[in-house]
Amino acid sequence: MQLGKYSLGIGDRFSHQGTAQLRAIMKANQSGLEICPVWNKSNREHTYVHSHPADVRKEADEAVTKLGFSGKYFVDADHIHMGTVAPFVETADFFTLDVASFIGKESPEADVKTFLASCSKYIGKLSIPGIEHPIEVSEDLLVQIAGKFLAATQQASEIYSFLKEKKGEGNFITEVSMDEVESPQTPVDLFFILKMLADRGVPVQTIAPKFTGRFNKGVDYAGDIAQFAKEFEEDVLVIDFAVKKFGLPAELKLSVHSGSDKFTIYPIMAGIIKKYNKGIHVKTAGTTWLEEVIGLALAGGDALKAAIFIYSEALGRKAELCAPYADVIDINDSKLPSAAEVEGWSSEKFANTLRHIPGHPDYNPNFRQLIHVGYKVAAEMGTTYTDLLKKHAEIVGQCVEENIYERHLKRLF
């Protein structure tokens, strides 16, 4: 099973926008692209909204049937680990193995020695085609890399082995995720991480490293753009080299998590993958959920009141809602409007404040990030929220489709 060169992870908290999401991808594919939609939802999101992994498969299949989509599509068990993978086995065919929590954990001494012995030939100057200067590899560096990543890759191997036993070899896509950590992985880290995965028999098709800079949920990239460009390009070259060196799947490509709305670096990523004729996987995180709230605000009446209620509740429960996302949000409390102020907003004011249009005088990334993590509030509203989605399906669907097509796919591809 192969993912395809270009793919887009389309998260959908409440499983109502599958058709709108797919319409955007089909619209882009009319220009000659073949972008694979990947409906993704994590165990945490299922827990918050009281859904089941089978709901995501149902949403994807129904959207594909309704629109007559004939391309590849997948359902991603997003950010799973050994403790959460089981409920996803039956209905998912893409598994994001989140091993970030194992980075830095101790490995058995014998495993470390075996890894170091297998890397002795790389000590000295490691030349990777396309990278101008050779990478200096020392034994100390290898010891550091083993200390950081060996346990994480072992965990990836254990999850993969479990899935292979349950689903059969070649019947699912494997992604390895190490992005939700504080320190970025360097290109040389990535090279040896890929060696570890190959040594352990993990046929990784996409890998999500932590890049330099902040990849906060639903807002633009914050960081050194030149450094990111250098790092991203070198990662692409490292992957190409590692595929040939270690026998990894030829389609192996970078995956950018919290990749949605990184408008500043979209042209950089687009230029590099075009330069080397490589693929990419980008996850649009909770962008669809935000567009639902925008659509409800624009619908006015009770729908606008619901959107205002979601913000008001999220503001009052900020610490609780932000805690699980501490590494991927950055909210300046002083720039959050009060609940009383938002209570008096019009549909347009609310939508313009939430919608990600850099430079718009009303846009507020702090407001946007808080609502991003506030989907638990909507989940607690139950049918009050989902009935509004059904009632205003047309305007909400238009927001979702326009956002994915105009702001993401057009910029990326």
pLDDT tens digits for 39-54? Answer: 999 999 999 999 999 9
Of 23, 52, 51, the closest CA to residue 37 belongs to: 23
Is position 359 within any domain? yes
Is position 25 within any domain? yes
pLDDT tens digits for 152-203? Answer: 999 999 999 999 999 999 999 999 999 877 789 999 999 999 999 999 999 9
Same domain, 31 and 45: yes
pLDDT tens digits for 85-129? Answer: 999 999 999 999 999 999 999 999 999 999 999 999 999 999 999
Q: Residue 19: is its pLDDT beyond 90?
A: yes
Q: Of 263, 285, 307, at which residue does a domain stop?
A: 285
Same domain, 75 and 209: yes
Average pLDDT over residues 354-361: 96
Same domain, 199 and 258: yes
Q: Of 235, 264, 285, at which residue does a domain stop?
A: 285
pLDDT tens digits for 272-316? Answer: 999 999 999 999 878 999 999 999 999 999 999 999 999 999 999
Q: What is the DSSP letter of 297?
A: H
Is position 292 within any domain? yes
pTM here?
A: 0.95
Same domain, 281 and 292: no
Q: Residue 242: is its pLDDT beyond 90?
A: yes
**Which amino acid would we find at residue 160?**
Y
Question: The tokens of 63 are what?
Answer: 């959207």
Supply the pLDDT for residue 151. 97
Position of tokens 């993912």? 3
Same domain, 138 and 186: yes
Q: What is the DSSP letter of 283?
A: E
Gap between the Cα atoms of 152 and 101, Å rounded: 8
Question: The tokens of 324 are what?
Answer: 């699980």
Same domain, 34 and 173: yes
Is position 408 within any domain? no
Q: Residue 258: is its pLDDT beyond 80?
A: no
Same domain, 222 and 131: yes
Supply the pLDDT for residue 166. 98
Is position 407 within any domain? no
Gap between the Cα atoms of 209 and 221, Å rounded: 15
Is position 412 within any domain? no
pLDDT tens digits for 56-90? Answer: 999 999 999 999 999 999 999 999 999 999 999 99
Residue range(s) defining the domain that contains residue 220: 6-285
Same domain, 272 and 328: no
Supply the pLDDT for residue 126. 95
Q: Specify the range with the lowest mean pLDDT, choosing from 252-261, 331-340, 368-377, 399-408.
A: 252-261
Q: Residue 259: is its pLDDT beyond 90?
A: no
Is position 411 within any domain? no
Q: Of 246, 263, 285, at which residue does a domain stop?
A: 285
Gap between the Cα atoms of 301 and 311, Å rounded: 16
Average pLDDT over residues 240-247: 97
CATH number of the domain bearing residue 271 = 3.20.20.70
- Tell me the β-bridge partners of 74: 38
Is position 406 within any domain? no
Q: How many domains does the chain have?
A: 2
Same domain, 281 and 206: yes
Same domain, 303 and 276: no
- Is the Cα dihedral 106, 108, 112, 118 positive or negative? negative
- Is the Cα dihedral 231, 233, 236, 239 positive or negative? negative
Supply the pLDDT for residue 52. 96
Same domain, 142 and 277: yes
Same domain, 247 and 381: no
